Amino acid sequence: MTHFPQPHPSRRAARVQLGDSVLAAIRLEDGRRTKAKLQSISITGGLLQLAQSLAQGDFVEVAFQTQAGPVHGMAEVLSPTQKMAEGVLQPFRFVALEDDDHRRLRTSLDHVVDRKLLGMKVNAFSTY
């Protein structure tokens, strides 16, 4: 069954900052592929560092690896937030995740948040 993430109207989803360590594979609607670095992630979406910006409103497939396993979902590309020498930072929001992908993402995010609350260093995400 497919999960359709819905943002909570009055509470923002917890974000996990990842830095430059997590690679994501992106497949565009026309079949083209590109790579990105996943800067932050939440249960509802994330922030990618890309060499070139994607068109706002594009639907893409996003895939990345966590310690709980691979996460693969459909996402809508949002407006780029910042241009940098290395490319652009561009947010996305998940529009559909299979139940297993949703569970792996939730497990990984919960693991990171729990460990941070305990003051422990952790990386529940790895390169794809």
pLDDT value at 11 more than 60: yes
| Residue range 13-40, pLDDT digits in tens | 677 877 667 999 999 999 999 999 999 9
Domain 12-117 has CATH 3.40.50.1580: no
Q: 72 φ, ψ to 5°?
A: -135, 125
pLDDT value at 127 more than 50: no
Q: What are the residue ranges spanned by the domains of the chain?
A: 12-117
pTM for the full model?
Answer: 0.80
Which sign, positive or negative, has the C-alpha torsion 27, 2, 56, 86?
negative
| Residue range 64-123, pLDDT digits in tens | 998 889 999 999 999 988 888 889 999 999 999 999 999 999 998 988 766 555 455 555
| Those residues with Cβ within 8 angstroms of residue 61's Cβ, 6 or more apart along the chain or in another chain | 26, 27, 72, 73, 74, 75
Q: Residue 119 carries which side chain, given as an amino acid letter?
A: G
pLDDT value at 5 more than 70: no
pLDDT value at 57 more than 80: yes
Helix (H, G, I), strand (E, B) or coil at 39: strand
Task: Tell which phi-psi region holds residue 124, choosing left (phi > 0), alpha (psi between -120 and 50) or beta.
Answer: alpha
Q: Which helix (H) or strand (E) segment is 112 a member of?
A: helix 99-117
